[in-house]
Structure 1
Amino acid sequence: MSAARALSFGAIAEAYERYRPGYPDELAAVVTAYAGGPVRTALEIGAGTGKATRLFARHGVAVTATEPDAAMLAELGKHLPGNVTTVRAAFEDLEPGQAYGLVYAAAALHWTRPEGRWSRGAALLEPEGVFASFGGPVQLADPAVEESVRAARAPFLESDDIPSPDGTAPDAELQWPGTELQRSPLFVDVRQTVVPRRLTMRAPEYVGYLSTVSAYLQLPRSTRQQAYDAITRALPETVEIAADIIVHLARRGPA
């Protein structure tokens, strides 16, 4: 993944907070059940505006939220729970020191560099600590509406998908990063689970969500607006969204 794309969100931090869906309590329950007991401390990779930060903080976890983009971190600070510490840093800049019961990334792990990803993640975990990564595509649930939007977008942008970092096919049973975790000798008990999520949005809200997607942010400003306008014309007044959360979990293996 390109560094430019990874650091393109700061300019739209307020829109990111407004239009990106948050995370449900069911997600915290999945992570806690896997951990086998209460999670007390966590390090978050690429916290963004704190959508997942607030979820785990609400469940009593002391979260250290790391984020390299100052604007995103500033937006996170507007909604900061008391049990959250923020650090402006990319994952690659984190040095092992304090170990955490949970290290997690919410729709952010694909922006990290593959070199040293798993050794760094393992080094930041307590023995048998839990690594979690979660996210997934936000898609129009109606295939006819999806096709209309694809056709409207096509003159400006072929695809707004983020490809799998290791080339795993979209229909493979085990998705990335579970594939890499399974190959790593540093982690054990790799699991993949899905938290179902269905949303209803007004058309302007859906286009607002698209305005936070990195593929659109890479377009020239005038082209970007033309794409949004074309998509808006293709949308009904309200849209149903399929936004299932794919969760990957693993445990730090024996040293």
Structure 2
Amino acid sequence: MLGMVERALSFGSVAETYEQFRPGYPDELLGVVTAYAGEPIRTALEIGAGTGKATRVFARGGIAVTATEPDAAMLAVLRKHLPATVTAVQGAFEDLPLDTSYDVVYSAAALHWTNPDGRWERMAALVRPGGVFTSFASPIQLADLELREAARVARAPYLETDDVPSPDPRPPAERPMEWPGSELLESEWFTDVRQTVVERRLTLSAQDYIGHLSTVSAYVLLEPAVRDEVFRLVLEVLPETVEIDAEVTVHLARRR
């Protein structure tokens, strides 16, 4: 568990790099959430907003967003890039007051960093009855499977895997859907749980792909000299430009 906490708190050290190299989210994402909600979304709460990659999508939709983020360095970058209509608040999910509920509560690639104890009861207190909770993420992977394997082999002497372990300990074949949908299905607080995918491919320079890796917690926690060597080895097996599988997996649920 300590390793997960360290990884969760590692992003502030690379906040500006995170803003530069992490791709944002497509506007189509808001369309998926709005269609599921079935009514106008006026207010939204974001859990773990980072530098505001997803915040911008919801703010562009005219929604009054309260973006919360526990890391001061990440929040500082977020505040530089967001319109005045967004309320930015420093705070962890576990510490947020429960005296206000929202039409939508969402988390972009951050929910797995929250404390599982009482997660869904606390989440339910933040979503108004009939409102929507949604979690989405876009793991960036090399689209070419041979190239992906070559990169894995290149980093293997120093880093066996760069994945964040799934909070659902069951083998993927035994889960009814990916996490957090698998937990939402079992929650007494939510219903109508759905999983959908927004397809997306991106083309990046090899250098920009390495820039993205430099914001991934598994690499951030490496010793600087080791990290530089890993990036050198991976860069050696990449062509000048790479195609990236950047599909967005979206989970949606309705507050009972």
**TM-score normalized by the length of structure 2:** 0.97
1:37-56 counterparts in 2 under 5 A?
A: 37-56=39-58
1:93-172 counterparts in 2 under 5 A?
A: 93-170=95-172, 172=175
CA distance in 2, matches of 1:24, 1:58: 11
- Residue 168 of structure 1 contacts residue 175 of structure 1 at CA under 8 Å; is this kept in 2? no
Q: In the alignment, is residue 242 of structure 1 matched against residue 242 of structure 2? A: no
Aligned to 1:58: 60
Q: Percent identity?
A: 63
Aligned to 2:181: 178
- Residue 103 of structure 2 contacts residue 128 of structure 2 at CA under 8 Å; is this kept in 1? yes
CA distance in 2, matches of 1:158, 1:5: 16
Q: Output one character per residue of 1:126-175: Cα deviation in whole Å (capped at 9) or x when no partner.
A: 11110000003211001111111011110110000112101243455510
**TM-score normalized by the length of structure 1:** 0.97
CA distance in 2, matches of 1:26, 1:87: 26
Structure 1 stretches of 4+ moved >6 Å: none
Q: Output one character per residue of 1:60-84: Cα deviation in whole Å (capped at 9) or x when no partner.
A: 1100000000000000011011220
5+ long unaligned stretches in structure 1: none
CA distance in 2, matches of 1:169, 1:228: 30
Q: What's the offset of the Cα at 1:88? A: 0.3
Aligned to 2:215: 212
Q: Output one character per residue of 1:180-216: Cα deviation in whole Å (capped at 9) or x when no partner.
A: 0000010000000000010000000000000000011
Q: In the alignment, is residue 75 of structure 1 matched against residue 46 of structure 2? A: no
Q: 1:72 to 1:224 in 2, by over 3 A?
A: same
- Residue 176 of structure 2 contacts residue 182 of structure 2 at CA under 8 Å; is this kept in 1? no
RMSD: 1.0
5+ long unaligned stretches in structure 2: none
3-state SS of paired residue (2:97): coil
3-state SS of paired residue (1:51): coil
